Structure 1
Amino acid sequence: MADKSHAPMRKKEKKDEAADMTKDGKEVKSEGQKTEDNGEAAANNGTAANDQNGDFEVEPMELPPFEIIAGDRIDPLVFRFQFKNVEYSSGRNKTFLCYLLDKGNPADGLYKGYLEDEHSGSHAEEAFFTQCLPNYDPALKYTITWYVSSTPCSACATKIAEMLKARRNMKLSIFAARLFEWEEEEIQAGLKALHGAGCKLRVMKPVDFSYIWDTFVENEEQPLNLWEDCKENYEYYQEKLADILQ
């Protein structure tokens, strides 16, 4: 699957993630259209140093590969930041995938957890099949539900569609907080391929965010207070998805 660290994969406007997670105030849809300050961009992409003319010179910084992180509960601040359904997702450069897995055997129960990816290496979508479902059994009936921070990249979508066509005993539903790069033709083609392979695709409703909060987040029994414009942004994304899949 493709490397999300390169365009046209998931948006990577280089802002400090911790600052974005804790900042107050309303995020507007024009946020991502603002030009980043040159000094900030330099600091985020490498080490800045002055040359003899006093200009900044960026020294490349190699990002180490990050392994897929798996767990049961997500930090509440991370959830609020990564799953926020704003249109321009500044700093949200990874995928969070919360899953429910039913293998059709009541004795096994329902498997659940989450995966996250970052930088190079496998994407969370690919990692689900290699880490959570490594031993495929054609005799079983799999029902899989994903709640993802954004829809898959084109490469992941294509591979998942091929897998669903080959494994007719596997049903997958994907509920996404945001549509990733939905304007790109190859992304739209990937979403159509998923839909054509029988995958149920839907943008997450406000009630879905509350469900994730209760099921996958270290919420300390505190209720989720949804952010401003959550419903409006859901309707915006759902309309875009409907246009793509029609």
Structure 2
Amino acid sequence: MWVARGGEGGDPQGGPMTWVPPACAHRRLMDINTFEENFRDKKRKTYLCYKVEVREGDPWTPVLEHWDYLRNQGADTPWLPRHHAELCFLDLFPSWPLDQEKQYRLTWYISWSPCPDCVPELVEFLKKNSHVSLRIFAAHVYTYIHGLRDLRDAGAQLAIMTRNEHQHCWDTFVDSQGQPFGPWPNMEEHIADQCDELENILWNREN
């Protein structure tokens, strides 16, 4: 589908014609370079793609108006206060008119796993919102121990992004211009290394 889109923060009425997946035409998309630099390479920025689903009977139903992405504030946006992407999400969440009588599943695809400063806030968020579950798929994992265990113990599901999750982000959150997703060299080795790292953090009781 080809639609008129502005750039990030631009005027959607005056933007060039770009290819947008039909399910995503109502919202902004991340450019290819940003996705590759942060989800493939180890840039020290955090980008967080999120989606919300609600349980309607057995299946989870997408709440498409709450699918988007966030990034850290402050490092190269000096007009904004410094704020990690995870905390930007927590600031945004209360503005959504979600029905507390229903169950919601939040899924994050994040370039780096949550840092020690963000984990306590996420743990508190999960304690206060029993109608919400959280799944986190990280492209890279910070090598610290107890914070991620605390997050797991609070009910969050933690995993490393596999090729399937990268593909899903490409199809859903990236302005791919119709280009197919292609794995990068040593992608599977990186995924295996990060999976081992996360497994060691979460389950190695000697640490």
Assess same fold via TM > 0.5. yes
The answer as to 2:165 corresponding to 1:165 is no
- How far, CA to CA, are the matches of 1:203 and 1:149 in structure 2? 10
The answer as to 2:91 corresponding to 1:130 is yes
Q: Please identify, of 141-150 and 100-109, the stretch whose mean Cα deviation from structure 2 is larger.
A: 100-109
- How far, CA to CA, are the matches of 1:109 and 1:160 in structure 2? 21
The answer as to 2:55 corresponding to 1:115 is no
Residue type at the aligned position of 1:245: L
Q: TM-score with structure 1 length normalisation?
A: 0.62
Which is higher, the Rg of structure 1 or of structure 2? 1
Q: TM-score with structure 2 length normalisation?
A: 0.73
- How far, CA to CA, are the matches of 2:174 and 2:62 in structure 1? 23
Give the deviation of 1:227 after TM superposition.
0.8
- How far, CA to CA, are the matches of 2:94 and 2:172 in structure 1? 20
Matches within 5 A, 1:1-246: 72-84=28-40, 89=42, 92-104=43-55, 109-110=63-64, 111-118=66-73, 119=75, 121-135=82-96, 138-180=100-142, 182=143, 187-246=144-203
Q: Which runs of 4+ in 1 moved over 2 A?
A: 102-111, 132-140
- How far, CA to CA, are the matches of 2:179 and 2:120 in structure 1? 39
Give the deviation of 1:132 after TM superposition.
4.0
SS at match of 1:154: coil
Q: Which runs of 5+ in 2 are unaligned?
A: 1-26, 76-80
Of all paired residues, the percent bearing the same amino acid is 31
Q: Deviations over 1:188-231 (max 9, x none)?
A: 21100110011000000012111111110000111011111111
Residues 97, 124 of structure 1: 8 Å contact kept: yes
Q: Deviations over 1:60-119 (max 9, x none)?
A: xxxxxxxxxxx63101011111101x5xx3xx1211000001244799833201001142
- How far, CA to CA, are the matches of 2:88 and 2:184 in structure 1? 30
Give the deviation of 1:166 after TM superposition.
2.7
Q: Aligned residues, how many?
A: 166
Q: Which runs of 5+ in 1 are unaligned?
A: 1-70
Distance 1:218 1:107, change over 3 A: closer
- How far, CA to CA, are the matches of 1:208 and 1:201 in structure 2? 13
Distance 1:93 1:78, change over 3 A: same
Q: How large is the RMSD of aligned CA atoms in angstroms? A: 2.1
